[in-house]
């Protein structure tokens, strides 16, 4: 393993992520353990079958009704020829369509399977099977764009690209800092934007080369339309870019620390805060309403 990969693994083990409305009040520790180091929230997804929220944190994996209300703990497991383990803590999930969920993370039972679960797939969000890279990859974000899968592997420090549904992957190394989030241009498969703790980077050749685009404070990203790249920084500032992350327009401010953006379209998006609170904007980030508070 390279020196760079060892450094990234050390970082992971230490951390294993109206204009002012939406997230007021003290943050709750009901779904998140703030006594541990971040990341606190790993994923926010919407199940297209019933529009419920799927939220994963460092306390587990939860399903939240679309109207808010009482969260249900999801009892999930992963199976491979090497063994079976419960999963849920520090789990990355991404809903690609009805009955199509992909994931990565760590086994809840460290004796059952290797510490990195690679790329997994499920049809019900509860039973996962390993597809590839077991014991090798910890994918912190997975996206399907242009009939491809893109993922960030925090062990290798690389963007992975698959054209065969995750069975094999091409590696593209990222900037040296740990990548917090990345997105792909909806119109151009070669254009990627990635964020670290203090910088936004842009690549125009599928991640072969990266250049700094703008500074930021742990920006979280989503790119729902060609001229709408959304960004929420650690201080709650919500911005939109119409030129792929090179310049930004300030929209609104969230009262709380954003962890995940799940955009529905150019105007509507959900934002998960550090404690699992879920906010919704229907005006492109100018204002937010609370959908769920733990």
Instruction: Quote the CA–CA distance of 106 and 87 in Å, as a whole number.
Output: 7
The 10s digit of each residue's pLDDT in 230-277 is 999 999 999 999 999 999 999 999 999 999 999 999 999 999 999 999
Q: What angle do CA 150, 179, 167 make, to 5 degrees?
A: 25
pLDDT number for residue 240? 98
Q: What's the whole-model pTM score?
A: 0.91
- Percent over 90 (pLDDT), the chain: 89
Rounded to an integer, the average pLDDT of 97-110 is: 96
Domains identified in the chain and CATH numbers: 3-292 (2.120.10.30)
pLDDT number for residue 20? 41
Dihedral sign computed on CA atoms, order 132, 150, 275, 262: negative
**Mean confidence (pLDDT) of the chain:** 92
In Å, how far are 5, 14, 38, 107, 272 from 10, measured between CA atoms? Answer: 9, 6, 13, 18, 26
Rounded to an integer, the average pLDDT of 90-105 is: 95
The 10s digit of each residue's pLDDT in 164-202 is 999 999 999 999 889 999 999 999 999 999 999 999 999
Rounded to an integer, the average pLDDT of 85-102 is: 95
The 10s digit of each residue's pLDDT in 121-139 is 999 999 999 999 999 999 9
pLDDT number for residue 270? 98
Query: Is residue 222 scored above 60 in pLDDT?
Result: yes
pLDDT number for residue 233? 98
The 10s digit of each residue's pLDDT in 16-32 is 433 444 445 689 999 99
pLDDT number for residue 9? 46
pLDDT number for residue 176? 87
Confidence of residue 88 (pLDDT cuts 50, 70, 90): very high
Counted residue by residue, the chain has a size of: 294
Are residues 275 and 31 in contact, defined by beta-carbon separation less than 8 angstroms?
yes
- The whole-angstrom distance between residue 266's C-alpha and the CA centroid of its chain comes to 19
pLDDT number for residue 64? 98
């Amino acid at each position: 393993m390279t020196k760079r990969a060892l450094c990234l693994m050390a970082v992971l083990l230490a951390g294993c992520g109206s204009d002012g409305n939406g997230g007021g009040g003290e943050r709750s520790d009901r779904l998140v353990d703030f006594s541990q180091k971040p990341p606190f929230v790993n994923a926010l997804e919407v199940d297209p079958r019933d529009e419920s929220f799927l939220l994963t944190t460092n306390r587990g994996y939860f399903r939240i009704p679309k109207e808010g209300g009482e969260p249900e703990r999801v009892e999930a497991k992963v199976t491979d020829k090497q063994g079976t383990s419960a999963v849920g803590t520090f789990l990355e999930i991404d809903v690609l369509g009805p009955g199509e969920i992909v994931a990565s993370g760590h086994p809840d039972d460290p004796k059952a399977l290797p510490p990195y679960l690679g790329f997994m797939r499920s049809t019900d969000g509860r039973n996962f099977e390993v597809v590839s890279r077991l014991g090798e990859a910890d994918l912190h974000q997975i996206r399907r764009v242009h009939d491809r899968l893109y993922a960030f592997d925090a062990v290798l420090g690389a963007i992975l690209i698959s054209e065969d549904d995750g069975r094999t992957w091409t590696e593209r190394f990222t900037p040296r800092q740990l990548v917090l989030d990345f997105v792909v241009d909806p119109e151009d498969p070669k254009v990627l934007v990635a964020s670290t703790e203090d910088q936004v980077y842009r690549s125009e050749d599928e991640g072969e080369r990266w250049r700094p685009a703008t500074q930021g404070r742990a920006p979280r990203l989503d790119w729902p339309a060609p001229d709408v790249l959304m960004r929420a920084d650690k201080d709650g500032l919500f911005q939109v870019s119409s030129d792929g992350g090179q310049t930004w327009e300030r929209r609104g401010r969230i009262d709380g620390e954003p962890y995940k953006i799940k955009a529905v379209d150019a105007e509507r998006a959900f934002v998960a805060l550090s404690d699992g609170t879920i906010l919704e904007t229907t005006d492109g980030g100018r204002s937010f309403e609370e959908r769920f508070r733990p």
